[in-house]
Structures are given as C-alpha cells and as structure tokens.
Structure 1
Amino acid sequence: MFRPQVEGMENIPGDGPVILAGNHLTFIDSIVLPVVTKRQVLFIGKDEYVTGKGLKGRLMAWFFTGVGMIPVDRDGANGGVAALMTGRRVLEEGKVFGIYPEGTRSPDGRLYRGRTGIARLTLMTGAPVVPFAMIGTDKLQPGGNGMPRPGKVTVRFGPAMEFSRYDGMDRDRYVLRAVTDSVMAEVMRLSGQEYVDMYATKAKAA
C-alpha cells in the first residue's frame, strides 16, 4: 500500500543491540518502520493501542503486538522512567529498540528538539544509534488521523553512531544534550526537514 523505498539498510548491524532513532510525522510511521527492517524492531507505544474494544481494538492489538510494540502507560507519573527502563531491557537482551526522540508527532512537518532519553539509553547500554528518516508518510496520513491513502514513502537509515567517549557520563546533562543534538542533526540531514529548537509538545500547546 505504501510502496516503501528503503535506503541504507546496510547501516543496521546484523546482530547485537542497536537503537533506531528517527523523526515522527504521523501514526503510520510505527507501521512502516517494523515492516521494512530485516530485524524485529521493538518499541514502546500507548497502552491504549492494545486495550481497545470491539473488532477494531482486537485488530490493533494483534498488529501492534505482532510487530513488537511494548505497551507502556506513558501518561502516568512514572511514564518516562518506565519507557527508559523498557528500552534498556530490550537493548540488554541484544535486540533492536526503535525510538522517536521528539517524543510525539511533529505538529507541522518540521523536526523538533529531541528529548535526552535517547542519550541516556545509548550511554547506559553502549548500544550504537542508527538515525533514520521517514519521508512522505505525512502526505499519506495528514494530521495522523483517518485511513492513510496509498502512496510512496521513503525510509532512510544513516551510518551508526557510537558514543563510547562519554562512557560513565549518563547523568551529565550537558553530555546528554550534546549526544541528543548530534543524533537529531543526523536525522535532520537524512530527512531534509527544517529544525526547530523547541520541544514539539510545547509547539502543540502553543
């Protein structure tokens, strides 16, 4: 349906822990990413995706569980910690963990400031980060709502990034920000998006 074109698949290591970090334009990003990669990608998602009622709810639960979504109550008091610990467990098991550093979908197609959870994960586990860009998914599902229309999308993976030079510094906020910004710079290069130095949640609230 989406006719995905994949570039840079060879940048994803064939084994061992790896973090896939990319932009987030619309809901179907989480459908396209696990479908195009050769290794299973585990990622967190809203628990409501697997707790819906009726036929639609059961189909959503079946699909997202099947492609590797781990339901987490991200809106709870400890949502951020739960998400971080889930990612750490996945990586310590030598698997692939997918994450959108912006923390939410872009409200206008631009790339927003990344949250530092991505930096903490790579520094705590030593897992390399492979940046990726979703291109065109927002054209197929504008606003992230409704049924997506058929069309073509591109998923572009960049070279793996490693941050061993910061080993043991996963609590230094300046290091966390520097690592996060370097990842987002690669995502921007791959996607061609305009960068906005503010959090997407703040932009949505405004």
Structure 2
Amino acid sequence: MLYDAVRTLGRHLGRALYRPRVEGLEHIPASGPVVLAANHLSFCDSVVIPLVVPRRIRFLAKAEYFTGSGPKGRISRATFTALGAVPVERGSGGGALEALDVGLRRLKDGGVFSLYPEGTRSPDGRLYRGRTGVAHLALTSGAPVVPVGLCGTERIQPIGTRVPRIAPVTVRFGAPLDFSSGYGHLKTGRARRMVTDEVMAAIQRLTGQEQAGVYNDRNGE
C-alpha cells in the first residue's frame, strides 16, 4: 500500500542521511489502541514519527499542508496523505473537534493516533503548555498515552528556512501512561487539565526542555 511504500522509502533515506537515534520503542504496545503525544519542534516531526514507529499511525497536521499550490503543494499533500495525516483548521474549534473524532474512531478500531498537545511547533525550543485534546482522547477511549520526546529536529529545518539540513535526531518514547481509571470523581474540565499536565511533564522528562508555562499562540506552523 502507499503508506507502506512511503514509509519504507522514507525509513531507508532517513537512516542513511540522519541516522536517527531511537530509544524506548518497546514502550509502544504491539497491538491495541494507543495515543502518541509528542513535543513539536519542526515541520519534519510529522515525518520522523511515522518513519520510526513500526505500527501504522494517523496524526493531526495543519490544513495548509493539504491546500498548497504548485509542485511543492502537490508533494506536501501527497506525502502527508500517504503518511496518514488528518488535516485540521488552525484556530477552528469545530475543525479541531472533527479531527479528534477521527482520532477516537482510530482508537476505537485499535489503532495508533498521534498528536502534539502544544498545538503548534515551538518558536524558541521551549515546551509550551499542552491543550487538553490529548486528555479528551485518553479519557474517552481509555487508551494509554505514550509520551514522545523529539530532540534535534529543529536543526533540520529551522523556522524560516526552506531547505532541510543534515542534523542528528533523537526520538525517545516513554512508558505508557494509563488514565483509564481514577478520574471519575473529578469534573471533566479538571480531569482533562490534570491528565494533560501529566502528559506534558512526561514529555519534558524525555526532552529536558525548558517549560514556557504558557500556551503557544503563535500563528505559524
């Protein structure tokens, strides 16, 4: 299938060019639903994760990756579609909810769904406060959350550059976090906030990033 072909080609190219260091891959269950929650440093994060995870992934990606024109737009659209991306309109509450519904269906079917709780990539390398979509997925589906720490991807394509560079990359997967019980006594909003903060703390332990303590509201990637 197209996903497998793109993933196989990308894996060979990625290993040859970047020699990514992958740690903790054994934390991803071999079967059953799982949410992957990662920090977001670069455009290429959405390519790196599907290439190193052995299971098929669906993940959220901004709608602009699917609407570009010209050869670059066609390549972006084909690549992200092949890798299993779900387009989401930035700043659209309805679009975000629809994308999360896709994630819930994926989890219900026993699949893997990945997202960036920060919402958009970090402009300065710090780890920003997580939005509660990841908690919604975990609490609604009962699926475990595997935190993902990406290190070095910001050097491949720094903000404002168009041509990717060669730089070392490390991808760390943490132990699964189980939120399937223990939150029923809390109001929904509070439970989602607590779960999200726990996920972000786990990501921070994997990356060592400075915590910004605020949401990332940058109107960029």
Is the shorter-chain TM-score for this pair beyond 0.5, marking a shared fold? yes
* Count of matched residue pairs: 204
Matched residues in 1 for 2:187 and 2:141: separation? 13
Contact 2:66-2:76 at 8 Å conserved across structures: yes
Match of residue 107 from structure 1: 123
Paired position in structure 2 for 1:178: 194
Please give the alpha-carbon distance, in whole angstroms, between the structure 1 residues aligned to 2:96 and 2:78.
25
Deviation at 1:72, TM superposition (A): 2.9
Give the one of 143, 150, 155 matched to 1:127: 143
1:159–1:167 CA distance, 2 compared to 1 (3 A): same
Cα distance per residue 1:75-124 (max 9 Å; x no partner)? 43512211221211111111100110011111100001101111111000
1:49 to 49, 55, 65: 65
Give the counterpart letter for 1:17 in structure 2. Answer: P
Q: Unpaired runs of 5+ in structure 1? A: none
Contact 1:141 1:148 in 2 (8 A): yes
Residue among 40, 61, 71 paired with 2:87: 71
Counterpart among 151, 167, 190 of residue 206 in structure 2: 190
Q: CA RMSD in A?
A: 1.9
Cα distance per residue 1:164-206 (max 9 Å; x no partner):
224657862111111111110000000010112110117x79x
Q: Bigger shift: 150-159 or 137-146?
A: 137-146
Corresponding residue of 2:168: 152
Structure 2 CA distance for aligned equivalents of residues 94 and 151 of structure 1: 34
Summarize the Cα distance change of 1:160–1:185 in structure 2 as closer, same or farther, 3 Å threshold: same
Post-superposition CA distance 1:41-68 (Å, at most 9, x none): 1112122322322222221122111111
Once residues 187 and 105 of structure 2 are traced to their aligned partners in structure 1, the CA distance between those partners, rounded to angstroms, is 18
- Distance verdict in 2 for CA 1:99–1:5, change over 3 Å: same
Contact 1:170 1:176 in 2 (8 A): no
Query: TM-score, length-normalised on structure 2?
Result: 0.86
Q: Is the 8 A contact 1:124 1:170 kept in 2?
A: no
Q: Could you tell me whether the CA contact under 8 Å between 1:166 and 1:175 is conserved in 2?
A: no
Q: Which residue of 1 aligns with 2:112?
A: 96
**TM-score normalised by the chain length of structure 1:** 0.92
Deviation at 1:146?
Answer: 1.3
Equivalent residue for 1:81, pick from 87, 90, 97: 97
List gaps (5 residues or longer) in structure 2. 1-16
Q: 2:41·2:125 contact (CA, 8 Å) conserved in 1? A: yes
Deviation of 1:13 (Å) = 0.3
**Correspondence 1:131-142 to 2 at 5 A:** 131-142=147-158
1:200 aligns with 2:213: no
The sequence identity of aligned pairs, in percent, is 51
